[in-house]
Amino acid sequence: MSTSRKAPLGQVSDFDIRLLRLFKTVAECGSFAAAESALGITRSAISLHMGDLEKRLGMRLCQRGRAGFALTDEGREVLRASQSLLAALEGFRSDVNALHQQLRGELNIGVINNLVTLPRMRVTHALRELKAQGPGVRVNIGMMTPGDIERGVLEGRLHIGVVPLISPLSGLEYTPLYEERSQLYCSHEHPFFTRPDDEISDAELQTVDAVAPNYRLTAEALGRHQLLNCTASASDREGIAFLLHTGSYIGYLPDHYAASWVAQGALRALKPERFHYAIPLCVATRKGRRPHLILQRFLEALALTQG
């Protein structure tokens, strides 16, 4: 016999869910006695909990007594609804846990040009690890000037950037990545190419045309360029390489970028023991950024490439 419902069911609480789990177990076991071992509580405790649930729902869920255990019509409906609810909760738990394993979304990276030739390809290795962890992650790489990269990270258009550490901005965090060494080069068509270093004086180096970058430099790099007769400028390293290959200029290039041309006999380093400098390259992220799982996984993968 069903009891009369006094009021609609309000918000379902954690306690209600625990009672529904108990009811589902009892119904599946077929009796209070059989549910004792499954639930780890006594029959009297099960009876009390079932009474609490029936009061909460305002309906009789089962007949119990000498005639045995049987669900009421309402009990069968509540059992079906309980099974759906508990399955949905389990699905929610699984979906949320899966978010920690299956990365989804975008990673926007800004990188200065001509880094792919670095022997220690830390960025490449970290991207490969990120792809393995999150096949569905969309990676967007933009080749930009250091200033554009830092602005992009500050404004939130980029999640991370790879930049030379020249003048750190207060709104960014910088993590060391590489130490990039540059040397002074000329092409095989330049008059200095076939001359031994000991026959080229520092004063003579100042008499020939040289190319300088028009982006920011460290004090050391700036001092090296001030020793040259810079009559041309370039916005990036590729522009410097273009001018060097004319045979009319000398200029500094990162040694990893120039290495293939050196191997081909197209470029040579001039007095490398004296004319060189190093610039630290860093990854830049915004201070106080919101949590971003994909970025965090990329940074973790990047850290693993050290050593």
Strand pairing class (62-63; 70-71): antiparallel
**pLDDT cut 90: percent of the chain above it:** 57
**What is the pLDDT of the chain when averaged over all its residues?**
89
Does residue 307 surpass a pLDDT of 80?
no
Give the Cβ contact number of residue 128 at 10 Å.
Answer: 13
Structural tokens at position 127: 């991207």
Instruction: Tell me if residue 135 falls in helix, strand or coil.
Output: coil
Domains defined for the chain, CATH in brackets = 14-99 (1.10.10.10), 105-307 (3.40.190.290)
Structural tokens at position 6: 């006094």
pLDDT digits (tens, 9 = 90+) for 127-149: 999 998 888 889 999 998 888 99
Chain-centre distance of CA 174, in angstroms?
15
Q: Can you spell out the DSSP letters for 191-216? A: TTTTS-GGGS-HHHHTTSEEEEESS-
Q: Radius of gyration over alpha carbons of the chain, in Å? A: 35
pLDDT digits (tens, 9 = 90+) for 48-98: 999 999 998 889 998 877 767 889 999 999 999 998 998 888 878 767 766
pTM of the predicted model as reported, rounded to 2 decimal places: 0.64
